[in-house]
Amino acid sequence: MQKLKQIIFNRPLILILWFGLSLFTIVKGILIYSGSKSSNYNNYIIYKHNFLNLIHQHSLFGPEPQYYFDLNHYGPVFGLIIAPFALLPDEAGVILWVLFLAWSLYYAIIKLPLTRTQQTVLLLLNINSMMGSSGQVQVNPLIIAFVLFSFIFIRKQQDFWAALMIILGTAIKLYGVVGLAFFFFSDHKIKLILSLLFWGAVLFVLPMAVSSPAYIVQMYHDWLPDLIAKNAANMQSTRAYVCVMGMLSRIFNIANFPTLSVLIPGMIIFALSMTRIKYWRNLQYQLLLVASTLIFSIIFSSSSEPPTYIIAFIGVSIWFVNLDRPITPYERFLIIFALVLTNFSPSDLFPRYLRLKYVLPYNLIVLPCLLIWFKIVYEMLFKNFRTYPGQTEWHLKTSEVDKANA
């Protein structure tokens, strides 16, 4: 058993799997679908044309069927981020882009205030999600990295850089705005607010350097109706709307499900879980909020799709590695349930019949994440987080983590 653990928790092996499987799946996609508008290659072409349209001042949000199917829904700032890759030949650009995404999430994970073992388990639990995201060239790993770094920088009292992470994530994909959930952990709230305003202005102006002020203003004006139209389309889509509202509407066959009847209570519960002020400096409480934020932002979003659940599952994994040991039978059930239904069901590792017959039609990917989110909220509201005379657990564990990661 000890030898098996040494193999499973071997960091170099896990890194080989983390980056190697991502590389394998995108190279496989290139070889199979090169020259066609496949889902594997198509997303990267959309990203590339975000940059090309930016510098040529064409609309970012109109259809371009001569290049790709679907539509671009990313803002002007994203064009600057994808630029170094878009300038390369497509095959080289997409491979390096996927590896960059895998690296950005890996780097954020190893910078979290966790022990080396906890980081390794977190990586291990998400290898399959990372591979699936890489296969479809999803930008979600970068969004997770921005959210995690907003927490990491606030915790290190580097609010200026935390603000940059929040604004960058939001400017690319609105999920990044959830980094604001960590605002109350800041010791320099005024500095954080001013930094948000500063980076908001900088990133608004920066794309103008490769286009024009009038064009950028117009693109931001066009972005809102584009997102509204996308949201409306998602609610009718068989692929999107993988959220609590979508799950309930499919299970109970409600055509026009009242979204706000679920979303508003969810937001209230989420807000209430952050009200235990005396634990704002407690690391375990903080990490529970990180996990809750990542899960909440997906399971209550009408834009969520199966590939988006890498964001939620990072949250699930953070919750799991921070559980008090030994874990309870219910907690063990929850992580196994999430691994099977959320992590593996969209992949070929799950029986195809069950996936097509039950999981996808009823959006059951959501269910384990919802149960775990309720568990996290309950702990944040009622758990008695341990403290020590003159020293919070946050200070104690910070010292231990920093020593372990030195």
pLDDT tens digit string along 206-215? 999 999 999 9
Backbone angles phi, psi at 387, to 5 degrees: -130, 165
pLDDT higher than threshold 70 for residue 393: no
Residue 238: the pLDDT is: 65
Shortest CA distance to 206 belongs to which of 234, 167, 253? Answer: 167
Which DSSP string corresponds to 8-47?
Answer: HT-HHHHHHHHHHHHHHHHHHHHHHHTTS--HHHHHHHHH
Residue 255: the pLDDT is: 80
pLDDT (tens digit, 9 = 90+) per residue, 154-197?
A: 999 999 999 999 999 999 988 889 999 999 999 999 999 999 99
pLDDT band at 34 (very low <50, low <70, confident <90, very high): low
Residue 1: the pLDDT is: 54
Mean pLDDT for all residues in the chain: 89
CB atoms within 10 A of CB 145: 24
Please, which residues have CB within 8 angstroms of residue 371's CB and are 6 or more apart in sequence? Answer: 334, 337
Residue 306: is the preceding peptide bond cis (ω within 30°)? no
pLDDT higher than threshold 80 for residue 390: no
pLDDT higher than threshold 90 for residue 283: yes
CA distance 69 to 375: 40
Cα dihedral 157, 161, 166, 172, rounded to 10, equals: -160
Contact 275, 289 (CB under 8 A): no
pLDDT higher than threshold 70 for residue 395: no
Percent of the chain whose pLDDT exceeds 70: 90
CA distance 135 to 40: 6
DSSP H or E run through 387: strand 387-388
CA distance 148 to 166: 10
Residue 366: the pLDDT is: 96
Letter string b/e over residues 14-41, b meaning 16 or more CB atoms within 10 A of that residue's CB: beebbbebbbebbeebbeeeeeeebebb
Instruction: Kindly report which listed range (3-12, 123-132, 250-259, 277-286) carries the lowest average pLDDT score.
Output: 3-12
Residue 402: the pLDDT is: 43
pLDDT (tens digit, 9 = 90+) per residue, 317-350?
A: 999 999 988 999 999 999 999 999 999 998 888 8
Query: Among the residues of 252-365, which ranges form H helices?
Result: 260-272, 283-299, 309-321, 329-338, 352-354
What number of residues does the chain have? 406
CA distance 70 to 79: 17
Contact 152, 111 (CB under 8 A): yes
Rounded to an integer, the average pLDDT of 358-386 is: 94
This prediction has a pTM of 0.91
Integer angstrom CA distances of residue 313 from 128, 227, 343: 11, 24, 7
Residue 29: the pLDDT is: 83
Rounded to an integer, the average pLDDT of 18-25 is: 94
Residue 42: the pLDDT is: 86
pLDDT higher than threshold 70 for residue 403: no
CA distance 45 to 68: 7
Cα dihedral 373, 376, 377, 379, rounded to 10, equals: 160
Distance of CA 17 to the CA centre of its chain: 20
Contact 207, 79 (CB under 8 A): yes
Rounded to an integer, the average pLDDT of 377-384 is: 94
CA distance 363 to 24: 28
Mapped onto helix, strand or coil, the DSSP state of residue 391 is strand
